[in-house]
A and B are shown apart, each in its own frame.
Chain A
């Protein structure tokens, strides 16, 4: 497998009032062409930060890449100039954000906003770009696209706006698409439409997708491989079915068990949900040489408080950062 995107020992530091905190702490992973990789975890675990770093969109002066490499087709993006990043963004790597309500500019028509991407990256003239924008809207299944291209964001429903965001992200046929909780603001039936759309685009264009989510169901449904993040660290990684069937980290286990799922045949049996007590630690805890999940873990041993767990490898490329991964 040749990696399209390779992240090596990435460390991102955020300047807070309490000092510098590593919000991403020594994270490495690879993404192959045409595959879907999912990042899961609670809020504040560094999922979105990883995405922003890949896009080169870390908040100025607050966040910085302190160590590590982000290699896209062999080119280190952490060393790239702003201009080079601008041309990569949108062209080769693009992103769909969580909030379709606020990510579009309300004073421009959706056609203009899509066309801008094309004019900028593909040097299309105004007329061609407009025409292509209508085609893209049609491709993301917005009905009556040639007419709707002249509409403003407020004239569209939430699902349609998210489809416009996808059309925009796909305008230049990127090789990597990062979707940051693309459907959390949407109803399930609309979510299903968006997922079908992403799946089709992946098949047709071979786009690799990084899907950020907190919903294990979405992971099971959409992704090939998954990475579980906790407090800025990668704590488990592997093939989706392997990890869901046999999680090797107590946190992954908790995340799967704490959610009431729909199952094939429901019966009267309804035991209380498994709880993961407590909450994600504050930023001041990040970076300590210990397992940051220890305070919430029911299998904690003395070593967890003394030493950060190293990554342990298992069959089918499953990786777990837990001292007790063997016994799980």
Chain B
């Protein structure tokens, strides 16, 4: 199931050679894949690493930005990756889209082994997996008219007859709530929210199955955020889209997702469906994260105890030997400092509200 990929994260570097045959690190998937026809994206034991320059003669160090994570997304659902900056959520998404090279692991989209594709095959297959970027100001080509930006992915596809392009582009403009006369305008003539709509139309035009939304609204004003979030939900219904949502805003995540994976320093520390995670967070980090979000809900503010975690994220190059959160954890014990906890399925009594699995990587939860 899992495959080894050569260490290409550094592009040209060949000083550390990994080959499929000799590398002892070849990972075998710990979890037996469950055959589920509904699963669109399956990621197993994904690892992404970047070289960090030492001194002239220093040994090259590797930073594991994403360290052995696995998750699946079912068709038509939304998985959110949450975590603080530096937790590896964006890198994981970029690896899924093959915009950074995977070091180890397996990625399957439907029945396609995503990592086995040649460059040319990948270019064509990208039609099935599109990206919506965070910053609508820098992710649109300023020299192209709006309709040309939306058309561009179609042109590189070649599978759609050219004669059909205009009709598809026109429909996309309508779907994302832009007026027909706006097709001829350039990006700078649009507001931030409208630009994000162009970015969404561009992502949709190839009729993808999976859309990766990397902080799709964090650059927008609050009132405009609601417009875009509603649009994304509407489009998900209309086109049966599957979303991988990257966000640091837990309010947005709560509204958009079906399940959530909480990342901390490259690892998934908790993974559960929406209601289980928000109503019954188990990992101390998730609890702290949720308790830190300022809320207008008075009941929530009165009910909860703010768990303030001290200190900053530890040095990613010199990871502690035990749990990565141990240095900041308010409930740390001895075993946390020596042994790294595994992400284990936690069997909660299935209440009427929660469905699906709840996994957590913490010694203190069983």
Name A residues whose Cβ lies closer than 8 Å to a Cβ of B. Answer: 42-43, 143, 157-160, 187-193, 195-196, 214-222, 241, 244, 254-256, 258-268, 270, 272-277, 279-280
Residues of B within 8 A of A276 (CB): 223, 226
Number of A-B contacts (CB under 8 A): 135
Cβ contact within 8 Å between A244 and B279: no
Taking CB atoms, residues of chain A closer than 8 Å to B288 are 189
Taking CB as reference atom, which chain A residue is nearest B288? A189
- B296 CB contacts on chain A under 8 angstroms: 216-217, 219-220, 244, 256, 261
- In the complex, residue of chain B having the shortest beta-carbon distance to the beta carbon of A256: B296
Pairwise interchain contact A277-B255, C-beta atoms closer than 8 A: no
Given A193-B308, A193-B310, A273-B230, CB of A262 within 8 Å of CB of B221: no
Q: Are B312 and A160 in contact (CB under 8 A)?
A: yes
Partner of B295, one of A187, A220, A272: A220
The answer for the CA separation of A260 and B289 in the assembled complex, in Å, is 17
Q: Which residue of B lies closest to A183 (CB)?
A: B294
Flag whether B292 is at the interface (Cβ < 8 A). yes
- Please determine whether A262 and B225 come into contact, CB atoms closer than 8 angstroms: no
Binds A, one of B90-98, B125-133, B148-156, B246-254: B246-254
Q: Which of A143, A254, A255, A273 has the most CB of B within 10 A?
A: A273
| B222 and A255 form a contact (CB under 8 A) | yes
Q: Does B224 lie within 8 Å of A191, measured CB to CB?
A: no
Interface string of B256-297 (1 = CB under 8 A from A): 100000000000000000110011000000001111111111
How far, in Å, is B145 (CB) from chain A's closest CB? 21
A77 to B223, CA, bound (A): 34
Contact with A along B1-30 (1 / 0, CB 8 A): 000000000000000000000000000000
A159, A244, A255, A258 pick with most chain B CB within 10 angstroms: A258
**Which A residue's beta carbon lies closest to that of B223?**
A276
**Complex Cα gap A191–B293 (Å):** 9
Residue of B nearest to A257 (CB): B226
A259 B308 Cβ-Cβ under 8 A:
no
Closest to B276 in A: A266
Other A-B pairs beyond A192-B291, A217-B293, A267-B353, 17, CB < 8 Å: A42-B221, A42-B222, A188-B84, A188-B248, A192-B306, A217-B251, A220-B301, A255-B223, A258-B226, A260-B254, A261-B297, A262-B278, A262-B295, A264-B297, A264-B303, A266-B274, A276-B223
Q: Does B298 contact A (CB under 8 A)?
A: yes
CB distance from B192 to the nearest CB of A (A): 8
Chain B, residue nearest A159 (CB): B312
Contact A187 B297 (CB under 8 A): no
Q: Whole-angstrom distance between the alpha carbons of A13 and B50 in the complex?
A: 50
A residues near B182, Cβ cutoff 8 Å: none
Contact of B298 among A241, A258, A275, A279 (CB under 8 A): A241
Cα distance A279–B225 when bound, in Å?
11
Q: Nearest residue in A to B234 (C-beta to C-beta)? A: A272
B180 at the interface (CB under 8 A from A): no
Q: Does B227 contact A (CB under 8 A)?
A: yes
Max chain B Cβ within 10 angstroms of own Cβ: one of A215, A217, A262, A267 = A262
Given known contacts A258-B223, A268-B275, A275-B227, A189 and B84 CB-to-CB distance under 8 angstroms:
yes
Knowing A221-B301, A273-B230, the reply to whether A262 touches B293 (Cβ < 8 A) is yes
